[in-house]
Each structure stands twice: as structure tokens, then as C-alpha cells.
Amino acid sequence: MAFEMIKKQGFDVQVIRTNRRKTTCIQINTGIVTIRVPKKLSINEIDLLINSRTLWIKEKLLQQKQLPQRQQRRYENGEDVYYLGRRYQLKVEKTVKERVKLNNGYLHVQIKNDAPEIVRKALKKWYLNHAKQQLADKVEQFSMLIPISPTSIQVREYKARWGSCSSNGHIKFNWKLIMAASDVVDYVVVHELCHLLEHNHSTNFWSLVKSILPNYEIQRQWLREHGHSLEL
């Protein structure tokens, strides 16, 4: 996979070339414009594609800029946090025994040092562990419907993607996805599993996704509009 940068008036575009694409796809996430294209597409052809979508890109960038800014977290009592789409209040308690748990509407962090960065690290570790388990369970569930299984599953942090599937069957997910509602997580899992059979975003690919999740467009649109809010 190769990366290039094209500078346009008012924005830059990250170009990602990949062997598993037969079509192009432009994504805008937190002000970052990305275009994924077939590996052999010329730079001139890519530039023409971007030019044809310039107005749309600028409109989306403006819309994202006008979204309410997420307040800076202080990682202290009373802040809202999310797990599988449900809102919880953060509860931080200094204790000798350290653990994080869900309890009666609270995400309870018991920790020796309640400094914000230490609390954030404890939360991230908890989210990551739960994401690994939840995503593995969902992959197993939906693999029975396709039916196909990935070579491996990894959970990590991405800035501008929710999942990826390599040509040799390795699937990776963004741990922040676990903050979204369960049906949104289902969509990303099914999306990546379908790439095991269709390494593109062709009509066949989307038909396969729809055969498993008939209303996938709702979750897809939710991610496009609200994915930026899945931050810790």
C-alpha cells in the first residue's frame, strides 16, 4: 500500500493506493481528506477525480468544521463516557486495588494515582480489552453467515478508519469502535468480513453486506456523521 499527498486549493488529499480496489473512494474524517484508489491509476486521473468532487469536499470540510467541538476531557467524576452506544458517567476513586468496571450507570475507575493521564490510560486499557472480546465474538457470529473466517483479528488505534482487511485475510479494527452502538459495530465487522470474499467496494460487495445487514446504510451514515465523537 502506497501513500501520496496532493495539495489542492484549501485542502490536501492523502492518496492511498491498494491492489484490492477496483473503484475509488473519497473519505473525510476530522478534517482529513483521503482518497483510496486502484494501484495503477495515474496521478493525473486521480487529480481529475478530486477536481470533479472539489465542491463536495469543501462542503463536507465546512460541515465538519461547524460541528460542536468536543470539550477537553478532564477525566474526573461526572464526565460522560460511552460503551456500546450507552452513556455512562465516569467515577474516579483513589484506591489501593486498581480496576475499571461498569456499575449502576457508572464507568468506575479505581486507581492509585488519579492524575488525568493515568486515568485515561486505565480507561483505554479497559476499552481495548473489551473491544478485543466483543469484536472477536461478533466476528465468530457473522462468520457463520458468510461463511468465512479471517486469518487473524487485531484491535488497534486508527485516526481515520474503523477497520481494514488485507488480501491475506488479516482483519484489524479500531478499538474506539466499542464506544458505538452494537449495530454500528456489527456493520463494521460485516463490512470487513465481506472483504474476505470481495476485495473491493463493488456492487457485489455491497450486495453481500446487504444480504447480512439489510439496513446497513443507517449504520454507515451514522459513522460518517458521528464517528468523530468516538474519542476518549
> What is the mean predicted confidence (pLDDT) over 143-158?
91
- pLDDT band, very low/low/confident/very high, at 71 (cuts 50, 70, 90): low
The whole-number average pLDDT for the span 222-227 is 86
The per-residue pLDDT of the chain, averaged, comes to 90
d(CA 89, CA 197): 41
**Contact (Cβ atoms closer than 8 angstroms) between residue 183 and residue 219:** yes
37-46 residue pLDDT tens: 988 889 999 9
* Percentage with pLDDT > 90 across the chain: 66
C-alpha–C-alpha distance, residues 33 and 150, integer Å? 29
Choose among 3, 4, 9: nearest CA to 61.
9
DSSP element (H, E) containing 44: helix 43-52
Three-state secondary-structure class, residue 95: coil
Contact call for residues 187 and 219 (beta carbons, < 8 A): yes
pLDDT tens column, 19-35 = 766 778 888 877 789 99
The pTM of this model reads 0.74
Find the length of the chain. Answer: 232
Angle at the Cα of 160 from the Cα atoms of 215 and 138, rounded to 5 degrees: 45
State which amino acid sits at residue 128.
L
Residue 169 pLDDT > 70: yes
Q: What percent of the chain has pLDDT over 70?
A: 95
The domain defined by 80-229 carries CATH number 3.30.2010.10: yes
Tens digit of pLDDT for each residue in 88-140?
Answer: 999 999 999 899 999 989 999 999 999 999 999 999 999 999 999 999 999 99
Distance CA 163, CA 31 (A): 19
**What are the domain boundaries of the chain?**
2-66, 80-229
Q: Which of 190, 196, 199, 188 is nearest to 227 (CA)?
A: 188
